[in-house]
Amino acid sequence: MIQLTLLELVKKQIPHLNYDDAKDIIKIEKVLKAEAKLNPAVKINDIENLLSFLKLYKTKFLPILQNKNIAIIVGQNPGRINFARLNREHISDETLAEFQQAFAPNTRDFVKKSVRDGDWTTLRSVFLNYDFLVEEELREEICESFVTKNHALISAIETNQCIAFAKANAFSVEEGYFYLLSTLAPGYFDEDVLRINNAISERQKTDPGTKHYLGKVLYAATFFDAFDESLKSTLQGNQQIALSWVYPNLQEKSDGSFLSKTIIAVVLIVLAIIVLVIAAEAGISSITPFVFIAMFVVRAIIALNKK
């Protein structure tokens, strides 16, 4: 793996470096080997790899490395990547292919760390905007690791272990994870997500605690952008159902509030009718009381609907 961070140590002493100049490469070598004698974290093997890289490619990759996201992915620089794409206008496909090969270990290390950290947004940006960095072997490896995750989740649901599994495996209730699956390989995970959906559907008649977590998994799964139109429609229709499982009290309060408002409105209307009947029997001919009562009822109902 190319340790580009070593160059930061050199730039503290020599701010302006020209990688096309053999003399500057010698300067880099002297600074780093001196640093290695004082700093055990600086390894001679890493220095030699970096020097070989600089002698071979010189400034060829500088236009690519100037991209902030790529510098983070392959340069071990701290930070989060965003969804800005690389401007490839003056970069040939051949150069990109060479870059991928040269930094394949760096990219692999970054992607696997992001998986361990559960950084689904970063991974989505990598596979969506910087897929040219990812070797097919690595993509397949990540896909297989996610299939293993999905099957473990399905097994947990089918054996009524959803609560414990969700608490120990945050990915199962994270929208970003399922959104990433859609980006990583369109259509590849449709069967897994369908099985997750069906397993939940078959076990929806359960205790409130389990249903709460089933709802969290189901809600997260609705963010999967299915390749199959039937599955896509099913997931979209499940979103509100999932929310009602996760937040049942809100649904009950909403229904109860609606019922209370309806009852009060009916009572007001009935009272108004009674007053009108009494007024009519009393021989009140003026329309003013009737208008006043009607306006009162209408305003009362409007006020109830605003609450």
Residues 194 and 260 in one domain: no
pLDDT digits 0-9 by tens, 197-248: 999 999 988 899 999 999 999 999 999 999 999 999 999 999 999 999 999 8
Does the pLDDT value for residue 76 go beyond 90?
no
**Final residue in a domain of this structure, among 68, 97, 132:** 132
Residues 91 and 191 in one domain: no
Residue 7's pLDDT band (boundaries 50, 70, 90)? confident
82: which DSSP letter? -
Report the number of distinct structural domains present in the chain: 3
Residues 30 and 79 in one domain: yes
Residues 115 and 142 in one domain: no
Containing domain of residue 159, as a range? Answer: 137-246
Asked if residue 1 is part of any domain, the answer here is no
Residue 144's pLDDT band (boundaries 50, 70, 90)? very high
Gap between the Cα atoms of 267 and 265, Å rounded? 5
Residues 218 and 203 in one domain: yes
Asked if residue 174 is part of any domain, the answer here is yes
The answer to whether the beta carbons of residues 244 and 208 sit under 8 Å apart is no
Residues 148 and 211 in one domain: yes
The answer to whether the beta carbons of residues 183 and 124 sit under 8 Å apart is yes
The pTM assigned to this predicted structure is 0.74
Residues 237 and 264 in one domain: no
Residues 127 and 12 in one domain: yes
Q: Reduce the secondary structure of 185-243 to three states and give it as a string.
A: CCCCCHHHHHHHHHHHHHCCCCCHHHHHHHHHHHHHHCCCCCCCHHHHHHHHHHHHHHH
The answer to whether the beta carbons of residues 127 and 107 sit under 8 Å apart is no
Residue 16's pLDDT band (boundaries 50, 70, 90)? confident
- Write out the E strands in 252-300: none
pLDDT digits 0-9 by tens, 269-304: 656 566 555 555 555 444 455 445 555 555 555 554
Residues 300 and 229 in one domain: no
Average pLDDT over residues 7-33: 89
Give which of 114, 117, 116, 147 is closest to 133, Cα–Cα: 114
Residue 20's pLDDT band (boundaries 50, 70, 90)? confident
